[in-house]
Amino acid sequence: MADIKSTRPLTHILLTKIVFMTILFAVAMGAVKSFQTYKTELNRFNQLAEAFSMAHVPLLMSELLNQDKVAIEKHLWLLVVRPEIAAVIVDASSGQQFSAGYITAPDQIDLDVVIPHPHIPEQQIGTLRVTYDTEYLHNTLVAKISLELLELALFTALIYLLIRYIMERNLNKPLQQIAQYTATLSPKRHLHPLVITRPKRRWRDEIDQVIEGFNTLRKSLTRYVDERDRAMAALADEKDQLDHRVTQRTEVIAHINEYLDMLSRISARLIDLPQPEFPIGLRKALYEVAQYHGANACAIANCNTGEAWSWRFIWRDDNAIVDWVEGQLLPSPGKSKGWSISYDKKLPNTLVCCFIGERDSFLLALHGMDEKARDQQERRLAQMTAEAFFKLTERWLSLSELEKCRKELLRLSNTDSLTNLANRRHFDHVRQLENRRAQRSGHPLSLLMLDVDFFKAYNDHYGHDKGDKVLKKLAAVMDEQCQRAGELVARIGGEEFAILLPDQGELSALAVAERIRKSIHDLNIEHRFSTHYRVTLSIGVGTLTQLNQHTPQDQLDSLILRADRALYAAKNSGRNCVVKETDLVHTDTTVEQT
């Protein structure tokens, strides 16, 4: 027997994971806050003790010179009165020692303050030693850390409750209602429409699409249950008639039930398919419908407002005489809104079920059907099939459009709008991935840092519009020169670019850099304020070859720093040149950014 798994609400599973991650976050933040509080309180203690002690040093100067023992001890006891200080000791240069407070360990001295001679600063007349009250420090830290942890816990609990409320309201309750409705689905009885209680909103989501799918299925079930019931009632009324009529009615009922069962299986299978697998699944469903109707070709076409009709999904037998091709345009079947079922006059034996809507329109064509398809019952079955397929196709088109929008948004977020190269954000993400991959494989990783020479002067003289056009040309050249898998060209600043070269050592990286530099030089773009009288690039090359000696982040920071320094060296060397970081003698050279 297969294992029967228990059912758990999806929201409870998600909330369990959220609680676990929240606890981890709270523990981490608590540790960080505790450490920060400890350092803050310790610094405060040091500053307070030192300031308090220094305030009494001038008085102690005169009292030590006058050897006023009573006054000295009085001042020391004034220091000890502070809750942060446990004990104070004054060692006079004459050998006398004065103390106040209680010291648990003789060597526990936290602060030494020299008491100089009031008239001879270089001469020391004593030393003031201060010991902190560690118990008071501990209690203060515990109180502050406990308060901060309590605030963090309350904030975390509030966030959890808000997330739980949102998920219960927007996900768990609709899913429970759908699950309860699903349990009542049956072809043996009439069902009320699936209505979910949800907050009002201005958009549709996947739950709305599931509801539409269920209601489509409910309508089909209800319609054909009614058909079956009427047929059975008619059969009961005519039970006294000839046997062949009873047999005929029985075949009609069996035919309806068989078709209803087939359509229910198809709808349930297609509605659960992942979006990429839907086209294959729908073509298989078209094949099943065509086999049932005795057709040798079955296809769906669609049309959006203002667009031409085109075939979307097609199944056809090898013997079919139609020339339908997916994506092929076809003549408009008409302009009247609503449903229409007819035979195509231009192509014999082709039943066309068409729906013209306000925004989307669909068409289902069955070719090569036998004579029974001319029966009114078969037309109604075909229309019911078309309704289900049209809803499923509309749902798939909506999901496909959403996926296209998501991919386009991702591309725009990772692309520089001017040059269409990768932007700084995408470059930072990829370089982290390539650095970790280099750590695992042990292969080298090279980085080119590129800067347009005297570009500020170019913009000032020729204008920013021409400057932008120059940047586009340079970006196109760089992208053309870096076509190997994994190579990434990115614009990381105004006129600054970076190129990531995975699995390439220093010699290979130098060759790429030199090709790019020469290609830019050969463009011969006029630049009156450049020493080369044309637009040129300075390039710094850095390479990671000795891996696993430091942390990945340290190695990546080192690679960027070395490539930058090589770029600065190229600037200092007259520009329009390539410098590798292994040639650098001094690493602290600075270059004016132009």
**C-alpha to C-alpha distance for 46 and 329, rounded to whole angstroms:** 84
Specify the amino acid at residue 362. F
DSSP collapsed to 3 states, 233-287: HHHHHCCCCCHHHHHHHHHHHHHHHHHHHHHHHHHHHHHCCCHHHHHHHHHHHHH
What is the C-alpha end-to-end distance of the chain, expressed in Å? 76
- Residue ranges of the alpha helices (H) in 272-331? 278-293
Question: 């030192």: which residue's tokens?
Answer: 50
Strand order in the sheet with 297-304: 310-316, 297-304, 360-367, 350-356, 338-343
Q: What values do phi and psi take at 342, rounded to 5? A: -160, 170
Specify the amino acid at residue 3. D
Closest C-alpha to 178, from 194, 189, 200: 194
Specify the amino acid at residue 89. I
- Residue ranges of the alpha helices (H) in 168-242? 173-183, 206-237
* 86 contacts: CB under 8 Å, gap ≥ 6: 80, 101, 102, 103, 104, 131, 132, 133, 134, 136
**Number of other residues whose CB lies within 10 A of the CB of residue 175:** 16
Closest C-alpha to 111, from 88, 94, 134: 88
- Helix (H) / strand (E) element for 520: namely helix 506-523
Residue 222 CA neighbour count, 13 Å, CB half: 10
Q: What values do phi and psi take at 576, rounded to 5? A: 55, 45
CB 591 within 8 A of CB 566: no
**C-alpha to C-alpha distance for 296 and 13, rounded to whole angstroms:** 48
Query: Which of the residues are catalytic?
Result: 495
Pairing assessment for the beta strands 578-580 and 537-544 based on DSSP bridges: parallel
* 219 contacts: CB under 8 Å, gap ≥ 6: 387
Question: 């044309």: which residue's tokens?
Answer: 534
**Number of other residues whose CB lies within 10 A of the CB of residue 422:** 23
CB 543 within 8 A of CB 445: yes
**Any idea what DSSP says for residue 296?**
S
**C-alpha to C-alpha distance for 47 and 82, rounded to whole angstroms:** 14
Pairing assessment for the beta strands 97-101 and 537-544 based on DSSP bridges: unpaired
Residue 79, token pair as written in the block: 């220091």
Residue 416, token pair as written in the block: 């520089």
* 555 contacts: CB under 8 Å, gap ≥ 6: 435, 439, 544, 547, 549
